[in-house]
Amino acid sequence: MKKINLALIGASARGLPSYVPYVLAHSDEAEFVAVASAQASLDNHLMAFAAEASRLRQGLVVEMSEFKATILASSACN
């Protein structure tokens, strides 16, 4: 029997626990699969933050490579 692949897209910390017991109880039928890499998720979140930065600056274009470097450099300091 082929397993059902469960991809949790946008499952918050509150939503995830409701799926885990089912998958553990039916591990012969279902399994969690990764939908996107951590890098892709990080890049998508940074793009959303860059869009908000642009909005706050009346639509000024935000260069993603510079924005990403700035954000990552500031998080390395913390």
**Cα distance between residue 14 and residue 19, in whole Å:** 10
pLDDT over 70 percentage in the chain: 71
Q: Which residues, in sequence order, are CB contacts of 60 under 8 Å at separation 6+? A: 54
pLDDT in tens, 18-56: 667 777 777 777 777 766 777 888 888 899 999 999 999
